[in-house]
């Protein structure tokens, strides 16, 4: 059986590491979207709640609903709340990111219909990522609108840094910070109640302490990956992907392995079949000698094409037997190497792990 091992001590270590970079009063929002970056949003959110994390964030309403249905009570920001889900969102006490006037008007209409007052919302401003958000020039019209409305309470105002990990783009990031500061000042000068302002993601926390404001968003760093090898070395990987050997074959010279005869043996070869494939998150780009696994501390290349549910590896130089453990990855270096040879990033390797892979807590 294949499984994803989740190390809760590593999670707590990573949270503590980043908290030490913050002022004691700075709030921490933990991003658990996309199944907690492919880990397990329910399990990890329960641990985060016990650690008294101030906020959780998900991408879509349905992700927040699942957390609520599993007993999570921590405030949850829905980063890409969509109007068709506002009723569902409200019924589960989730908090929307409002990023356009159309969204704002629709949300106010629903609140008015439900006779709800001071419902917490989060306003997103576009400072350069050009993905979601109000423009800086819309501040005054939003302020005027919300001053006349008691159905809504501004819980937070935020934006997203586009290149905070890239030290060649410091000028661009500093311009984003400058724009966000203009927004912060306008709203702080107008509204008397406390508003959370957050701009920094993991790389922002590391590289731009002046942009921590009174809340930061911790995503990939929480799972063990920094924005450079030095920072990553201070963190611990939360996830390890493991499987077992299902069957061993002796392949004669000239015989083939897998679909489309993707591998032809040039010599007598010993192969192992593993119960994990592209439906589980093993990219097809890793087939035909590109990717590898580790068996008894030795690297074994993936041979032939990656199948939907299985891969085959060359174990000619490894002493092993059926049911022996196989490690796909158990450290950041391996994840980053798999990402590099797949022409992608660590995020995709982690989030691509299928939900059908059981999660095992250690």
- Domain ranges across the chain: 8-230, 239-361
Quickly count: other Cβ atoms within 10 Å of residue 43's Cβ.
16
Torsion of CA 128, 142, 117, 48, to 10 degrees: 10
Residue 58 contacts residue 49 (beta carbons within 8 Å):
no
Q: What is the pLDDT along the chain (362 residues), one digit of tens a residue?
A: 999 999 999 999 999 999 999 999 999 999 999 999 999 999 999 999 999 999 999 999 999 999 999 999 999 999 999 999 999 999 999 999 999 999 999 999 999 999 999 999 999 999 999 999 999 999 999 999 999 889 999 999 999 999 999 999 999 999 999 999 999 999 999 999 999 999 999 999 999 999 999 999 999 999 999 989 999 999 999 999 999 999 999 999 999 999 999 999 999 999 999 999 999 999 999 999 999 999 999 999 999 999 999 999 999 999 999 999 999 999 999 999 999 999 999 999 999 999 999 999 99
Closest CA to 56 of 82, 92, 99: 92
Secondary structure in 3-state letters for 29-44: EEECHHHHHHCCHHHH
The Cα 67–Cα 73 span in angstroms is 8
How many C-beta atoms lie closer than 10 Å to residue 112's C-beta? 12
Give the HSE-up count for residue 31: Cα atoms under 13 Å, Cβ half-sphere. 23
Query: Across the chain, which distance is largest between two alpha carbons, in Å?
Result: 80
Q: How far is CA 273 from CA 3, 6, 255, in A?
A: 16, 24, 16
Pairing of strands 119-124, 95-98: parallel
Question: How many angstroms separate the Cα of 232 from the Cα of each of 202, 325, 335?
Answer: 11, 26, 12
Active site residues: 33, 259
8-state DSSP, 305: P
CATH number of 239-361: 2.40.37.10
Q: What angle do CA 33, 37, 43 make, to 5 degrees?
A: 80
Domain 8-230 has CATH 3.60.15.10: no
The single residue listed with the structure tokens 């819309």 is: 138
């Amino acid at each position: 059986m294949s499984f994803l091992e989740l190390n809760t001590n590593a999670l707590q270590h990573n949270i503590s590491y980043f908290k030490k970079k913050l002022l004691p009063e700075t709030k921490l929002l933990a991003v658990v979207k996309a199944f907690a970056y492919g880990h397990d949003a329910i399990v990890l959110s329960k641990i985060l709640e016990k650690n008294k994390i101030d906020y959780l964030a998900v991408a879509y309403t349905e992700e927040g609903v699942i957390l609520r249905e599993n007993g999570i009570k921590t405030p949850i920001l829905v980063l890409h709340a969509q109007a068709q889900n506002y009723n569902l969102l409200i019924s589960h006490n989730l908090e929307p990111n409002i990023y356009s006037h159309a969204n704002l008007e629709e949300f106010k209409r629903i609140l008015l219909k439900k006779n709800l007052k001071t419902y917490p919302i989060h306003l997103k401003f576009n400072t350069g990522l050009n993905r979601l958000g109000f423009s800086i020039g819309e501040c005054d019209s939003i302020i005027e609108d919300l001053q006349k409305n008691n159905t809504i309470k501004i819980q937070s105002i935020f934006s997203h840094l586009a290149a905070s990990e890239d030290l060649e783009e410091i000028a661009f990031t500093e311009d984003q910070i400058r724009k966000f500061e203009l927004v912060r000042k306008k709203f702080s000068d107008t509204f008397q109640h406390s508003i959370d302002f957050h701009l920094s993601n993991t790389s922002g926390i590391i590289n731009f302490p002046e942009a921590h404001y009174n809340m930061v968003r911790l995503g990939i760093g929480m799972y063990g990956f920094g924005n450079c090898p030095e920072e990553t070395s201070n963190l611990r990987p939360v996830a390890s992907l493991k499987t077992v050997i299902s069957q061993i074959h002796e392949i004669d010279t000239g015989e083939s392995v897998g679909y489309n005869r993707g591998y032809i043996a040039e010599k007598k070869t010993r192969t192992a079949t593993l119960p994990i494939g592209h439906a589980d998150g093993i990219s097809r780009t890793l087939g035909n000698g590109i990717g590898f696994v580790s068996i008894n501390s030795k690297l074994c290349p993936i041979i032939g094409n990656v199948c939907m549910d299985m891969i085959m590896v060359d174990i000619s130089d490894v002493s092993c037997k059926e049911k022996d453990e196989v490690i796909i990855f158990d450290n950041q270096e391996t994840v980053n190497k798999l990402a590099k040879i797949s022409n992608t990033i660590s995020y995709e390797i982690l989030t691509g792990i299928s939900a059908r892979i059981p999660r095992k807590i250690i």
